[in-house]
Chains A and B, each alone.
Chain A
Amino acid sequence: MRPAARLAAAVLGAAVLAALVAPLLPSAAANRIDLERRLVSPASAPPLGTDELGRDLFARLLRGATVSLGVAGAAVLVSAAAGSTLGLLAGERGGAWDRALGRLVDLVLAFPGLLLAVALAAVLGPSARNTVVALAAVGWVPYARLARTEARRLSSRDFVAAARAAGSSRARLLAVHFLPNVAAPLLVQATLHLAAAVLAESALSFLGLGVPPPAPSWGAMLAGGRTHILDAPHVVLVPAAAILVVVLGTNVLGDALVDRLDPARRVA
């Protein structure tokens, strides 16, 4: 692995560790309001200062890792599971199933980027679960396309015909013969998707459509600090840096994974 990819992996590992450890720490610290100590700079209240309600930014950043990475991770898992199942089924069955999936994909892709997630989050109401639903409603498409293409290719292969002739059930066929063949590209997609999901979760929270307050999501912290950007820029800079580092790290790592796992690029 290249040094940049190694550094990225280390940074991401630290963020994931923070997300896992934060719930074990005393939870009160992240939400303790102290109006006497509003917007205190990092210099006077180490390590990162306090926000507009006097809450400790370091504690909120850690808890925010749990919220932001947790919601994004859940969205990736749900998207990957739903998308690859639908894609494999449609690809293996072909015919009407395949056409139906194609229509469904077209329908989701008729909405640019986050628009559908924003609309869904808006009508469903802000909550962690609804954020996952909104993100997964858009996020499953690339997995489905990958799995579908691969399944179409595989379904005409001899070993698949042999498995079918031997009486293998469809579930077994897909799980044992198809899934291992699509696992690598799906994994690359999941890595890249995690960065996108962290961004999307933060964007929804930033717009007030994500996990509701007082839960500290990085996007919501950023939005909350924006009104105080004149007198206390650190309230914005802290979550901004966290988002930037995680997304940059995931992108670098994702690029390295693509280079490693994509056979076409490996030959080149």
Chain B
Amino acid sequence: MPPLRRLVEVPLLLLGAATVVFFLIHLIPGDPAAAMLGEGAAPADVAGLRRELGLDRPVLAQYASWLSGLSRGDLGSSILTKRPVAGEVLAAVPATAELAGVAFLGALLVALPAGVAGALAHGRPLDGALRAASLLGVSTPNYVSGPLLVLVFSVGLGLLPVSGREGRGAIVLPAVTLALALAALLSRMVRACLSEEMGRPYVAAALARGERPLRAILRHAGRNALPPVLVVAGLQFGSLLTGAVVTETIFSWPGVGRLLVQSIQRRDYPLVQGCVLFIAVTFIVVNAAVDAVAAALDPRAAARAAGEAA
């Protein structure tokens, strides 16, 4: 899809996401208000909550007030704490941003050199070892790697804290857990893109001029291989956000992901809606930005995409 059309579509996607999140509450089997208060709640309390959430009004009226609330940044109030949902979610954002940012940078720092090394060693044992490592990384979910890392580094070696956000080392294990799969995926991608560019005549010409392979890769092939890698990296930011849901839960990292899981367990559905909406909106906006940057870096890709959409 051409990036410009995508940018036009962003508001539509945001509206769509808001609509899906609104209807989540209506998918709760039975009476949502009763489900939120749990068994043994007094009927008067259930009726009160139903009125408070507006669940006694027609669905369209509820939808209209949900949207008008959103436009004012009002996502309702938490059932449990009675505080505004928007504030609760925003309070958890810095922790998630820190974790996702560190993991993202860490993954790039590992994946770029690993991918370059793999492309240079194409077909040799080092390449094979790197590919095997990345296959293992792609196949290890964070709820497996997280506990394993805790087992080795916290329990076995006693180096790092098991959970929480206090202290300097606290971010290491959650960030590594979150970065692992991304680093594996990106290194595969970097290797594949560089290998493809290495086969092109301009690289052969550079090599024939006597340039060293590493220099040829960094100066010439890298410039052409970078945009697709950046696009994949950017799009993977979304999987980082969902990965954060599990990772934050494992390590008790006080971010949006853990807030989401806690809210689900407490049946605090307005807060669940707030967390889901926040993650989806972040994802949509980041993707649109990635598309725009990619188009600026490589007009050919944009033209190709336009051709496909036509």
A: residues with CB less than 8 A from B are 103, 106-107, 110-116, 118-120, 122-125, 195, 199, 202-203, 206-209, 219, 222-223, 226, 229-230, 233, 236-237, 240, 243-244, 247-248, 251-252
| Residues of chain B within 8 A of A107, CB atoms compared | 13, 16-17, 20
Interface contact B143-A111, CB-CB below 8 Å: no
Closest 7 CB pairs between A and B?
A112-B238, A113-B242, A122-B264, A248-B139, A112-B283, A206-B143, A240-B144
Given A119-B276, A203-B143, A244-B144, output 19 extra A-B contacts at Cβ < 8 Å. Answer: A103-B16, A106-B9, A106-B13, A110-B20, A114-B245, A115-B276, A115-B283, A118-B242, A118-B245, A120-B24, A125-B29, A202-B141, A226-B250, A229-B150, A240-B148, A244-B139, A247-B140, A248-B136, A252-B135
Residue from B135, B143, B261 within 8 A of A219 (CB atoms): B143
Residue of A nearest to B308 (CB): A149
| Residues of chain B within 8 A of A233, CB atoms compared | 151, 155
Interface contact B272-A122, CB-CB below 8 Å: yes
Residue of B nearest to A230 (CB): B155
Contact mask B7-50 → A, CB, 8 Å, 1/0? 00100110011001100110111000000000000000000000
How far, in angstroms, from A115 to B260 measured CA to CA in the complex? 10
| Residues of chain B within 8 A of A103, CB atoms compared | 16
How far, in angstroms, from A223 to B276 measured CA to CA in the complex? 23
| Residues of chain B within 8 A of A226, CB atoms compared | 147, 250
Interface status of B246 (Cβ within 8 A of chain A): yes
Residue from A114, A123, A237 within 8 A of B25 (CB atoms): A123
B: residues with CB less than 8 A from A are 9, 12-13, 16-17, 20-21, 24-25, 27-29, 135-136, 138-141, 143-144, 147-148, 150-151, 155, 238-239, 241-243, 245-246, 249-250, 260-261, 264-265, 269, 272, 276, 279-280, 283-284
| Residues of chain B within 8 A of A125, CB atoms compared | 28-29
Interface contact A247-B139, CB-CB below 8 Å: yes
Main SS class of interface, A: helix
| Residues of chain A within 8 A of B139, CB atoms compared | 195, 244, 247-248, 251
> Would you mind naming 13 contact pairs between A and B with Cβ atoms under 8 Å apart?
A106-B16, A107-B13, A110-B16, A111-B20, A112-B239, A114-B242, A203-B246, A222-B143, A229-B151, A236-B151, A237-B151, A251-B138, A252-B135
**If the complex has contacts A118-B245, A244-B144, are A124 and B138 also in contact, measured as CB distance less than 8 A?**
no
Interface contact A240-B147, CB-CB below 8 Å: yes
How far, in angstroms, from A107 to B140 measured CA to CA in the complex? 28
How far, in angstroms, from A125 to B272 measured CA to CA in the complex? 14
Interface contact B284-A207, CB-CB below 8 Å: no
| Residues of chain A within 8 A of B276, CB atoms compared | 111, 115, 118-119
How far is the CB of A256 from the nearest CB of chain B, in Å?
12
How far is the CB of A117 from the nearest CB of chain B, in Å?
9
Interface contact A112-B280, CB-CB below 8 Å: yes
How far is the CB of A63 from the nearest CB of chain B, in Å?
19
**If the complex has contacts A120-B27, A123-B25, A124-B29, are A110 and B147 also in contact, measured as CB distance less than 8 A?**
no
Residue of A nearest to B263 (CB): A122
Interface contact A123-B269, CB-CB below 8 Å: yes
| Residues of chain B within 8 A of A243, CB atoms compared | 141, 144
Interface contact B272-A119, CB-CB below 8 Å: yes
Residue from A115, A124, A219, A230 within 8 A of B245 (CB atoms): A115
How far, in angstroms, from A195 to B24 measured CA to CA in the complex? 27
| Residues of chain A within 8 A of B25, CB atoms compared | 123
Interface contact A229-B143, CB-CB below 8 Å: no
| Residues of chain B within 8 A of A223, CB atoms compared | 143
How far is the CB of B252 from the nearest CB of chain A, in Å?
11
How far, in angstroms, from A202 to B145 measured CA to CA in the complex? 13
**If the complex has contacts A207-B261, A226-B147, A240-B147, are A247 and B242 also in contact, measured as CB distance less than 8 A?**
no
Interface contact B260-A118, CB-CB below 8 Å: yes
How far is the CB of A254 from the nearest CB of chain B, in Å?
11
Residue from A115, A119, A222 within 8 A of B241 (CB atoms): A115
How far, in angstroms, from A203 to B21 measured CA to CA in the complex? 21
Residue of A nearest to B17 (CB): A110
Residue of B nearest to A120 (CB): B27
| Residues of chain B within 8 A of A106, CB atoms compared | 9, 12-13, 16
How far, in angstroms, from A114 to B242 measured CA to CA in the complex? 6
Most A CB atoms within 10 A — which of B27, B147, B239, B272? Answer: B147
| Residues of chain A within 8 A of B27, CB atoms compared | 120, 123-124
How far, in angstroms, from A103 to B19 measured CA to CA in the complex? 13
Residue from A111, A113, A120 within 8 A of B17 (CB atoms): A111
Interface contact A115-B280, CB-CB below 8 Å: yes
How far, in angstroms, from A93 to B106 measured CA to CA in the complex? 47
Interface contact A206-B13, CB-CB below 8 Å: no
| Residues of chain A within 8 A of B261, CB atoms compared | 207-208
